[in-house]
Structure 1
């Protein structure tokens, strides 16, 4: 089996990669909740909180400051924006939250892998030093992350 080399991420993009890690954890927590028979309402409440606290600001930052580094007609940007729209719809679904959450945990994970392995690598290649400095300036991580109170995945 071929061993993959770790991705060398530019300092300006590292906070976004750390946020991606939290997105992967979200997917794991949703899977864990379903495997433990946790009520859909509890998992949906967590998803709603995560959407507001993490996904919305993350997508906004990417769409306003990261994606414009590549041309808006770039197929990678078109794919990322399409996936963002799909993920927002899945988070917002009130009709069938169980189905949407099951799809969401898979699609969010696949989207994060795409951004980390493909899109961010391409952006790093073409970004100017000035663009990277701007990203570093505008994206400051909070000292402490707010924790969600109902940690159903740990029980």
Structure 2
């Protein structure tokens, strides 16, 4: 019998919603490739998303969420390695190859955090730690860059 998934604590729900937008970035990259959009156009959007949304998200996780577990925890190490890889891919000058790798790596990373890491963090966190995360990370409405909707 399979276990019922753990309901996400409200302190982590804003991060999960941010993950949804990250999955949409992966989808938009795939859609751009499927429509034969110039990689440079896709890269402009991806770079904007990276600077505006991913960097702050990574910083939040690294400073306040991951420390719930021990720093030598294998799941935390994997998440940090994923963050490092993604940062390197966004800086890669081989745009088409980098975008293809970003699309795949970001999708896999988010699914790992949602399905494996966050449930472990939620189980290990004290109510005080979760309240602190909730207090520090106030959700804002997602604002998208819609001047070039290449994915449509």
- Same fold by TM-score greater than 0.5: yes
Other structure's SS at 1:41 match? helix
1:7 and 1:117 in contact (8 A); partners too: no
Tell me how far 1:3 sits from its aligned partner.
Answer: 8.9
Counterpart check, 1:79 vs 2:113: no
Tell me how far 1:85 sits from its aligned partner.
Answer: 0.1
Unmatched segments (≥5 aa) in structure 1 = none
**Equivalent residue for 1:21?**
20
Tell me how far 1:145 sits from its aligned partner.
Answer: 2.3
**Equivalent residue for 1:133?**
131
Relative to structure 1, the CA distance from residue 139 to residue 119 in structure 2 (aligned partners, 3 Å threshold; closer, same or farther) is same
Provide the TM-score with structure 2 as the length reference: 0.95
**Equivalent residue for 1:93?**
92
Unmatched segments (≥5 aa) in structure 2 = none
Tell me how far 1:4 sits from its aligned partner.
Answer: 8.6
Provide the TM-score with structure 1 as the length reference: 0.93
RMSD, aligned CA: 1.5
Equivalent position to 1:145, from 136, 142, 145:
142
Tell me how far 1:86 sits from its aligned partner.
Answer: 0.2
